[in-house]
Structure 1
Amino acid sequence: MTPALLDVKDLRVGLPTARGWAQALRGVSFSMAKGQTLGLIGESGCGKSLTALALMGLLPERAQVSGSMRLNGTELVGMAEPQLCQLRGARMAMIFQEPMTALNPLHPIWKQIAEPLPLHQNMGAAQAKARALALLERVQLPRARERLDAYPHQLSGGQRQRVMIAIALACSPDLLIADEPTTALDVTVQKEVLALIQQLVREDGMGLLLISHDLGLMHDQVEQVMVMYGGSVVESAATPELFAHRAHPYTQGLFAARPRLGLARGTRLTTIAGSVPDLVDWPAGCAFADRCPKVAASCRVAPPEVQRMAPSTADGPAHLVSCPRWSLS
């Protein structure tokens, strides 16, 4: 059995608010091997990006974290900041959602790419700049040598995203986290950036954790999908299995809400009624109960337990669902 690159068990994150403490992540568990691609999907505010920030040790001040996050066997929960700094950029890296806010407008792009190299690989300035050029060429930035001294505002959105990918790849990490990496890009550039990420993952054997709300992107880009709602994973399976058989009512609602070709003009898209509960006033039972078409009285009493369905393949991940009233669609 392939050893786990990343092993997360019962991850819980509490955040302080004006109305008291809010549990933003509630028992998130998953595991991924080196070279595996795993997707997190769900509505905005369901905990996808917070999971990534917890892994990177970038949570807001005073956040309370419990559970376990192991990267190559090393526990990240409770790790001191100096030790986390040794891992960030070197063994795990993140492509942030909006490159214009993630990049420093005051420094040329080569310095931003080269920043982790002296820290993690003891490179001098000249060697780091040469490495920055090699990385820009690898991520296929046009006229890379000419753009070494360019500033972020002088690049297009797609070019800035390539710079972000180059920064993430600078020290050849084991784990790459991509948080909505194509949100601000047009369709053509989206396709190019996603193809580039997949190519780099294959070449380097990295694990990829891809965060998105785009079901089509998940279908094409990852081997396994986890559906998040209210800070928990409500369903997970191999990608072909999940797209063929949805079990949780929330997952079924997400798929039903997809725009489809061939609909008559003026046809209204299916929606999921209601909204995500307030984190401070979280219900005692299932978080999806007030929006669920299959809700029963028992759903409001206690959080649902994880139900294990048959594996999608002989050696593939099991299909898991957190709903006692699940049914396949």
Structure 2
Amino acid sequence: MTQTLLDVRDLHVTLNTARGPADALRGVSFTLQRGQTAGLIGESGCGKSMTALALMGLLPEGAAVRGSIRFDGQELTTLPEPALCALRGHRIGMVFQEPMTALNPLHTIGRQIAEPLRLHKGLSASAARAEALRLLERVQLPQAAQRLDAHPHQLSGGQRQRVVIAIALACGPDLLVADEPTTALDVTLQREVLQLIAELVREDGMALLLISHDLGVMADTVQQMLVMYGGRVVESGPTAAVFARLAHPYSQGLFAARPRLGLARGTRLATIPGRVPELADLPVGCAFAERCSRVADDCLQAPVPMQAVNPGHDVRCLHWGSA
């Protein structure tokens, strides 16, 4: 029987803004089994990265959290900071979307990879350096031995991202959180890095939570996907099932807007009208209502519950079957 590694239940995060308290996450719930891969997808401002920061205990100062985050049976929302520090980088690794800000420009690559090994594993300086070299070779960094004493600015964007992945994997985590890990890379490097992450996840049997705005990445990389909008999950299910029946108007809009090979020169891509609302402006009802062609009065009056499309495939839309 597969064991649940991560169980997020009714997670709410409220931030202090210049306009007063604003809800960044509004009742997010999902589970992740050991060895399972899942993806969070949506535009910027939908709550994807905020979910990742909540899992890591790295929310902005003053953020208020309600709900539950259980990791391997342990509640994280009430865990003291020292206990969270013992988990971060050890049992939960994170790949940040911009490696140049994730890496310390003053320290060498070797020292930064060795730090979690010395902190969590108690390795000596020489043993940690040897393991850092093995990790750089594992993430296929060219001339790995010479790179140990290099600084981040001496590496290319793709090389820096490989270093960030090596740091995240250093202690053999049970869960890897990858927050848009290919944002700063060109298309060829994006594919290489995503293939590398997928291979490493398979080899180590760890769970993966991948955050992206790219539907193609989700289709190729994860078993389960959750579409987020306005701080809520608006559609979720097995990736193949969701793509077979995109039920939420937002999911359909994202799919229609994707670039495709074979389009005639000058063809304009479909767009979703409007933009993601500010946190302080989120309505009581459906957050997508102002951008939706199917909006009706009942969409605006109360929070929309999840409804079953098929077993395991759910959507937060009152009119999903009317298309």
The TM-score bracket by the shorter chain reads over 0.9
Match of 1:314 in 2: none
Q: Does 1:219 align with 2:219?
A: yes
- The 5 Å alignment of 1:256-267 reads 256-267=256-267
Match of 2:321 in 1: 327
Distance 1:328 1:320 in 2: 16
Residue type of the alignment partner of 2:81:
E
| Higher deviation after alignment, 297-306 or 281-290 | 281-290
> 1:56: Cα distance to partner?
0.4
> 1:262: Cα distance to partner?
3.2
8 Å CA contact 2:14, 2:25 repeated in 1? yes
Distance 2:215 2:272 in 1: 16
Structure 1: runs of 5 or more not aligned = 312-317
| Higher deviation after alignment, 64-73 or 188-197 | 188-197
Match of 2:285 in 1: 285
> 1:116: Cα distance to partner?
1.1
Moved >4 Å (runs of 4+): none
Distance 2:213 2:243 in 1: 15
| Higher deviation after alignment, 146-155 or 272-281 | 272-281
Distance 2:180 2:202 in 1: 20
Residue type of the alignment partner of 2:316:
S
Structure 2: runs of 5 or more not aligned = none
SS of equivalent residue, structure 1 residue 49: helix
Residue type of the alignment partner of 1:57:
G
Distance 1:121 1:11 in 2: 32
Deviations 1:296-327 (A, max 9, x none): 1011100100102323xxxxxx0010111112
Q: Compute the RMSD of aligned alpha carbons.
A: 1.2
Residue type of the alignment partner of 2:207:
G
- The 5 Å alignment of 1:47-58 reads 47-58=47-58
8 Å CA contact 1:247, 1:328 repeated in 2? no
Distance 2:66 2:228 in 1: 19
Match of 2:177 in 1: 177
Distance 1:196 1:264 in 2: 33
8 Å CA contact 1:248, 1:327 repeated in 2? no
Match of 1:296 in 2: 296
Q: Structure 2 length normalisation: TM-score?
A: 0.98
8 Å CA contact 2:247, 2:309 repeated in 1? no
Residue type of the alignment partner of 1:122:
G
Number of aligned residues: 323
> 1:328: Cα distance to partner?
7.9
SS of equivalent residue, structure 1 residue 280: helix
Residue type of the alignment partner of 2:11:
L
SS of equivalent residue, structure 1 residue 115: helix
> 1:3: Cα distance to partner?
1.4
Match of 1:22 in 2: 22
Q: Does 1:141 align with 2:141?
A: yes
Deviations 1:76-103 (A, max 9, x none): 0121110100000111010000101110
- The 5 Å alignment of 1:1-329 reads 1-311=1-311, 318-327=312-321
SS of equivalent residue, structure 2 residue 264: coil
8 Å CA contact 1:245, 1:328 repeated in 2? no
